Structure 1
Amino acid sequence: MADLILCEPTELYNILNQVTKLSRLTEPNYLCLLDVRSKQEYDESHVITARRVKKKADEYLIPESVDLECVKYCVVYDNNSSCLDLILKDDSDNSGSSENELLARGAAIECGKALAHLTRHPVQILRGGYESFSAKYHFFRTQKIIWMPQELDEFQAYPVEIVPGSIYLGDFRQACDPKIQKDLKIKAHVNVSMEIGPFFVGDADKLLHIQIEDSPEAFIFPFLRHLCHFIDVHLELGNVILVFSTLGISRSCGAILAYLMHRNEQTLKKSWEYVKKCKNNVCPNQALVAQLSQWETIVLGGFITDISVPLC
């Protein structure tokens, strides 16, 4: 039996925005997103791709097309469940439970428990439910119930969220999309590519453009102190920052890794593991990894991460 774990709104946001050549939402065994609210609430709006779970005679009816055993992410949400503590206690004795405690369990947790024996990976309960997620990511609300494969193929992913509400990591297309800038409230760009984007041109306070090629000769190390200072200043001002490169998998990932090492005073390996959870195709080239290893000596005073071993 799989466990129940909490899924933060940021985690679901990043799950929805993973991309290989196409959005990962096109993969049938990638995400099963289940809404256990009432039909009226679901019809009014729900998270994109979510399916409503019906309940009959105290039994949750899972959509027949879903093979939960093969699904990587199974995320369940209700209106506002935010805690697993009560439901994960031993259910054999509820004599000491008050009515309020029992109500606090929430429909999502009840449904998650019913599904747990069907899944290989933990069933995830969205913390704060639909209320929290839709308040933060209102642009992922929809009334659409059926998604055709072609529509998922054309789904335009948003930049992934590295520091919740503050730092996003994306590609050049996303950096040129005015809707994304508005929805995420982007106030500054760090452009680690040769291309010139349409926003903040000529404004050195809001745009840091590190022009390096996507090649083994890419030399980012001399810019890292300025990069970290630029991001720090905007975070202190409460501004949201988008860090991007052409494809968003090498140079911009290198920049994000360098900043996290600086911000958290942590190793390259630990920073890499964190970014990998946010974005599944992190892949700085070997030259950038070598420079990040050198940056580790500046941040932590010595080489700690063994870069001879693949970090992926």
Structure 2
Amino acid sequence: MAGMELCEPRDLYNILNQQWLLPRVADPYYLCLLDVRTEREYNESHILTARRIAQSLTGKYLVPHSELLARVRYCVVYDHETSSLDCRDSEEERDAKEGTAISHAKGLEQFTSHPVLVLQGGYKKFSACYHFLRTQRTLWMPWELAKLQTYPVEILPERLYMGDFKQACNQQIQKDLKIKAQVNISEQCAKLYVKYDRYLHVSVPDTLEVNLFDSFPTICHFIDAQMDYGAVLVFSKQGISRSSTGVMAYLMHSCVFSLKSAWSYVLKCKTNMRPHQGFVKQLLDWETKLYRTTITDISELNY
């Protein structure tokens, strides 16, 4: 069996907001998000794209299509407020305290190729953190999912986000995420929804020859200073190369990450982040400057 793991609300937020050419949630084999609360609770409000698991006449939860579960990348189950995977209690005691997410996830393990994820804190915690991803809608057409507006991925909870140019110019996104400062690492000038002194524009093209290394100290010090006022959004045209380079430089500088650790961390948040070879070399030089030694073997990085 694939097993079962706990999923932080931030992890589900980032899963929901992955985008390549289209939002990843438009792929039927990407995410199976299952709500096991009561029908009344589900109809009142649920997480975007979630579907409620049907029950038989005897009250047993029915398993979704087994072939779909076998191919799906993420299968996430949530109830009202499950907080742990502690199975030391009896099933009756656990259900009374934790709800039905764990017991239902156990019934899905045999069908999935990846661990079944149980949302930590359930709907209660997720909706408190990401109220803008709640909905009453129960049916989505494929073309509607393909047009969904994704949000910047969350790097540090409620403090640091990474996105693309379109997201940075969306006023509602800035409001929902409480963005107070922006770092624009692209040639284009963005429409400002933050105060002028809380906007840093590092105008660089996405080419192998460009020098972003010299801007790393400015980017890092700016982000640190702006976090006193609220969340910071780092963005570039596509949110894949330049923005991820800036974010990794910051994590190495202010969170004491090696390049390898920063790479793994950001890749988990945004699965298609890909700094080009020139930026990877500059990040390695940044690691050497910060720690006075080279820690990372860049041949181990997948780029």
TM-score (norm 2): 0.95
Give the superposition deviation at 1:177.
0.3
Structure 1 residue 264 corresponds to structure 2 residue 255: yes
Task: Kindly provide the CA deviation profile for residues 180-235 of structure 1, in whole angstroms up to 9, marking residues without a partner as x.
Answer: 000001000000001111116882x3011111111112211111111111111122
Give the AA of the match of 1:128: G
Give the superposition deviation at 1:308.
3.7
Q: What CA distance in whole angstroms lies between the structure 1 residues aligned with 2:105 and 2:284?
A: 42
Residue equivalent to 2:213? 221
Counting aligned pairs with the same residue, the percent is: 50
Q: What CA distance in whole angstroms lies between the structure 2 residues aligned with 1:31 and 1:200?
A: 32
SS in 2 for 1:187: strand
Give the superposition deviation at 1:4.
1.2
Residue equivalent to 2:42? 42
Q: What CA distance in whole angstroms lies between the structure 2 residues aligned with 1:108 and 1:30?
A: 20
Structure 1 residue 107 corresponds to structure 2 residue 108: no
Q: What CA distance in whole angstroms lies between the structure 2 residues aligned with 1:184 and 1:212?
A: 26
Task: Kindly provide the CA deviation profile for residues 7-46 of structure 1, in whole angstroms up to 9, marking residues without a partner as x.
Answer: 0000000000001100111111100000001111111111
Contact 2:162–2:234 (CA under 8 A) maintained in structure 1:
yes
Give the AA of the match of 1:295: W
Contact 2:181–2:195 (CA under 8 A) maintained in structure 1:
no
Identify if the C-alpha distance between structure 1 residues 193 and 52 changes in structure 2 by more than 3 Å, giving closer, same or farther. same
Identify if the C-alpha distance between structure 1 residues 113 and 308 changes in structure 2 by more than 3 Å, giving closer, same or farther. closer
Aligned-residue CA RMSD (Å):
1.8
For structure 2, the residue ranges without an aligned partner over 5 or more in a row are none
Contact 1:77–1:130 (CA under 8 A) maintained in structure 2:
yes
Identify if the C-alpha distance between structure 1 residues 201 and 55 changes in structure 2 by more than 3 Å, giving closer, same or farther. closer
Q: What CA distance in whole angstroms lies between the structure 2 residues aligned with 1:3 and 1:308?
A: 31
Q: What CA distance in whole angstroms lies between the structure 1 residues aligned with 2:223 and 2:51?
A: 39
Residue equivalent to 2:226? 234
Residue equivalent to 2:127? 134
SS in 2 for 1:282: coil
Contact 2:5–2:118 (CA under 8 A) maintained in structure 1:
yes
Task: Kindly provide the CA deviation profile for residues 55-81 of structure 1, in whole angstroms up to 9, marking residues without a partner as x.
Answer: 332521134487111111000000111
Matched pairs, number? 302
Contact 1:200–1:206 (CA under 8 A) maintained in structure 2:
no
Q: What CA distance in whole angstroms lies between the structure 2 residues aligned with 1:14 and 1:48?
A: 13
Contact 2:46–2:123 (CA under 8 A) maintained in structure 1:
yes
SS in 1 for 2:298: coil
